[in-house]
């Protein structure tokens, strides 16, 4: 126990302010992801109170996803050029203003403007890519572990904040709950400004962060084989996670005979395993061969779909799948961020991860659509899972084609190029 305590203390002493920022990013991501997920929570209430149909409300989620796809690379590029402080603070202000002002809406156009457009700007500016790029600029040692802990806030937020928000809605009504939630998120913005100072960034990572022209940095990425292997792997990652599982797991479980509450509980268990998987993968990214680790995550994700295809009449298998898939779900992110930092460069990390996240979103959109199309035509999800197995295996192969190197990230920066 003493050795473990000393080890934890020594890790903390390497960058005390940095670890405080890690915990803050964990909290900020939890708030942002919970705000976006509140749409599903509040949808039946808006149907009743505002008289809007579910198709219209659901379309708002699609608009948010489009804005996130467009904004993420821009926010990442801005983070590279001026640092994470204004990007993170601005994102929190947008998300908080969106949620709090949504509490006043009465017309459909207000929903599109306030929740979807203004909120989409914030959601696209503070997601896992921007959080990972922020941590990369602050840490040189223990970067993988720090990234894993910080980005796991996305799952932690869903696990903790959504039930709390549901209780607030029941107790005070959705308008008061949204107003209070939005104000709390906006209050985090000045904390960002005080905590993430320019001095927080390591000298190595802060110097020359984004002087190179955007065209030069895009040219660097286009000529980088590792970028394309990661990009196409991450497109397939989006299909097999956010696309088919986050959208279709509950409907699939219900089609297998499980009640709605049990199906939703399985998704909650998946989120909890998700958080553990991200932290574990971040820790391992500092210790082992990262392309091998990333490929293994995709490989075991593929195997988990074999369990999913057998869950009918066997709730133990449903929850076994939730745990296994959760461990190998978002755990790609800290490994991906670690590879980008050394194979492409910390100084273009925001732009790189933003582009990779755009590919992930495109894959997710394809998975969500194809899942619904296949079920409508065949009344079964079997082919969706079979295709997902093949795509996850392909993502594993693409990852294993990357050559491991832990050389100086500056070797890959636009300035050096």
Q: 46-97, pLDDT tens digit by residue?
A: 888 888 876 677 677 777 877 887 888 888 888 888 888 899 999 999 999 9
> pLDDT for 365-410, tens place per residue?
788 778 878 887 888 889 999 999 999 999 999 999 999 876 544 3
Q: What's this model's pTM, rounded to 2 decimal places?
A: 0.74
State percent of the chain over pLDDT 90.
35
Q: How is residue 212 annotated by DSSP?
A: S
Ranges of beta strands (E only) in 266-364 are none
Asked whether the predicted pLDDT for residue 2 surpasses 70, the reply is no
State whether residue 15 is helix, strand or coil. Answer: coil
> pLDDT for 147-184, tens place per residue?
888 888 877 777 778 778 878 888 888 899 999 999 99
**Number of other residues whose CB lies within 10 A of the CB of residue 21:** 26
Helix (H) or strand (E) holding 92: helix 84-102
Nearest to 172 by CA among 245, 103, 74, 123: 103
Considering the chain, what is the average pLDDT of its residues?
Answer: 83
Q: What is the pLDDT of residue 203?
A: 44
Residue 415's pLDDT band (cuts 50, 70, 90): very low
**Token pair recorded at residue 104:** 């006043």
Q: What is the pLDDT of residue 392?
A: 97
Asked whether the predicted pLDDT for residue 412 surpasses 50, the reply is no
What is the rounded CA–CA span in Å between residue 226 and residue 356?
12
**Token pair recorded at residue 236:** 């397939």
Q: What is the pLDDT of residue 369?
A: 78
Which segment of 6-15, 112-121, 278-287, 320-329 scores lowest on mean pLDDT? 6-15
**Which bin fits 197, alpha (ψ -120 to 50), beta or left (φ > 0)?**
beta
Q: What domains can you pick out in the chain, each with its CATH number?
A: 1-207 (1.20.1250.20), 211-417 (1.20.1250.20)
Q: What is the pLDDT of residue 325?
A: 95
Q: What is the pLDDT of residue 411?
A: 40
Q: What is the pLDDT of residue 82?
A: 84
């Amino acid at each position: 126990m003493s050795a473990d305590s000393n080890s934890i203390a020594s890790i903390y002493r390497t960058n005390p302010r940095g670890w405080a920022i890690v915990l803050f990013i964990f909290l900020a991501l939890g708030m942002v992801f919970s705000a976006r997920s509140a749409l599903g929570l509040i949808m039946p209430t808006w149907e009743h109170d505002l008289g809007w149909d579910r198709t219209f409300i659901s379309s708002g989620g699609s608009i948010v996803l489009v804005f996130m796809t467009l904004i993420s690379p821009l926010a990442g590029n801005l983070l590279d050029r001026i640092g994470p402080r204004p990007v993170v603070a601005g994102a929190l202000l947008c998300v908080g203003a969106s949620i709090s002002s949504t509490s006043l809406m009465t017309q459909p156009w207000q929903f599109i403007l306030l929740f979807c457009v203004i909120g989409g700007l914030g959601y696209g500016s503070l997601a896992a890519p921007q959080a990972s790029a922020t941590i990369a600029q602050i840490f040189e040692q223990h970067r993988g572990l720090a990234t894993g802990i910080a980005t796991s806030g996305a799952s932690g937020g869903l696990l903790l904040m959504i039930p709390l928000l549901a209780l607030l809605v029941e107790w005070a009504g959705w308008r008061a709950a949204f107003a209070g939630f939005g104000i709390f998120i906006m209050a985090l913005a000045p904390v960002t400004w005080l905590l993430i100072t320019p001095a927080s960034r390591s000298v190595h990572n802060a110097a020359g962060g984004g002087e190179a022209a955007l065209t030069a940095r895009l040219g660097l990425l286009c000529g980088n084989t590792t970028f394309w292997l990661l990009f196409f792997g991450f497109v397939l990652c989006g299909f097999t996670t956010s696309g088919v599982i986050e959208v279709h797991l509950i409907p699939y479980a219900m089609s297998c005979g499980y009640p709605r509450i049990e199906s939703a509980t399985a998704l909650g268990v998946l989120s909890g395993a998700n958080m553990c998987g991200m932290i574990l993968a971040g820790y391992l990214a500092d210790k082992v061969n990262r392309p091998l680790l990333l490929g293994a995550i995709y490989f075991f994700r593929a195997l988990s779909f074999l369990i999913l295809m057998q869950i009918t009449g066997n709730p133990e298998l449903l929850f076994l799948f939730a745990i296994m898939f959760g461990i190998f779900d978002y755990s790609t992110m800290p490994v991906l961020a670690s590879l980008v930092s050394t194979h492409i460069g910390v100084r273009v990390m925001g732009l790189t991860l933003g582009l990779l996240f755009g590919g992930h979103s495109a894959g997710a959109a394809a998975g969500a659509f194809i899942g619904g199309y296949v079920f409508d035509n065949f009344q079964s999800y079997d082919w969706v899972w079979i295709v997902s197995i093949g795509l996850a295996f392909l993502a594993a192969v693409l990852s294993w084609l990357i050559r491991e190197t832990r050389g100086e990230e500056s070797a890959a920066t636009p300035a050096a190029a």
